[in-house]
Amino acid sequence: CVQPSVPPVPNYKLSMSIPEWLQAIQTYMKLLQYNHTGTQFFEIRKTRPLSGLMETAKEMTRESLPIKCLEAVILGIYLTNGQPSVERFPISFKTHFSGNYFHHVVLGIYCNGRYGSLGMSRRSELMDKPLTYRTLSDLIFEFEDSYKKYLHSVKKVKIGLYVPHEPHSFQPIEWKQLVLNVSKMVRTDVRKELEKFARDMRMKILKPSSAHSPMKERPRGKSLSPRRRQGSPQRRACRRDKS
């Protein structure tokens, strides 16, 4: 009986450029594969301290099981820790398709004046983006255009704060510092809001909103990039959004 091969965890080498390093991390995630089983192998509670989530990420590298979008964000943070020039922040999307709402999250990356992302999705256009976007809004509009290819309309975009590089931090990740109802806004206004937020983020003047209002935890993990067969059993994993 042949043991399935376990992909080696990527190691940063000084000879690597940051885009090459991010590519190595994304390649590793793809080798783990997207979890199509309908069962989530790792429990990710968004309100947990960063230190606890980093322990879960370590477990992911040991177990080498398929992952979904939320796990990919945690794993991406874990693997980019110790690279202070690489800022990481969560980007969440709520989309509408065929009478249902879907949720998806990727890890936004900012480095050397450029934006990109890491992540996992059923759709290759809804995960990693190269570190080439000059503004945060360029990156978000790229995702919005990618969603359109699958007839999904983006309803809300939520942007979190930069995640500290201290893996033993007891502070939780700030998932939704900026919430935009993009379906009710024109692009020029969306761009203005995103650029102001990005500027404040770069100047590190934003404080977690969760310090004032504890985040309500949502039940169950839910990935949600578009799916091909709406009749599949996985459909049940997609909940209707009540908000």
Question: What is the b/e burial string over 159-191, where b = at least 16 CB atoms within 10 angstroms of the residue's CB?
Answer: bbbbbebebeeeebbbbbbbebebeeeeeeebb
Specify whether the CB–CB gap between 70 and 44 falls below 8 A: yes
The number of residues in the chain equals: 243
Annotation marks residue 111 as catalytic: no
Which pair of structure tokens corresponds to residue 220? 């169950």
Q: What are φ and ψ of residue 63, in 5° steps?
A: -80, -30
Q: What is the Cα–Cα distance from 109 to 6, expressed in whole angstroms?
A: 27
Q: In the annotation, is 121 catalytic?
A: yes
All residues at 6 or more sequence positions from 88 whose CB lies less than 8 Å from its CB, including other chains: 76, 77, 80, 107, 108, 109, 162, 163
* Per annotation, catalytic residue among 92, 103, 117, 121: 121
Assess whether 69 carries a catalytic annotation. yes
Q: Which is the catalytic residue, given 104, 111, 137, 223?
A: 104
Options 69, 117, 223, 225, the catalytic residue = 69
Distance CA 16, CA 70 (A): 27
Where in the sequence numbering do the catalytic residues fall? 69, 104, 121
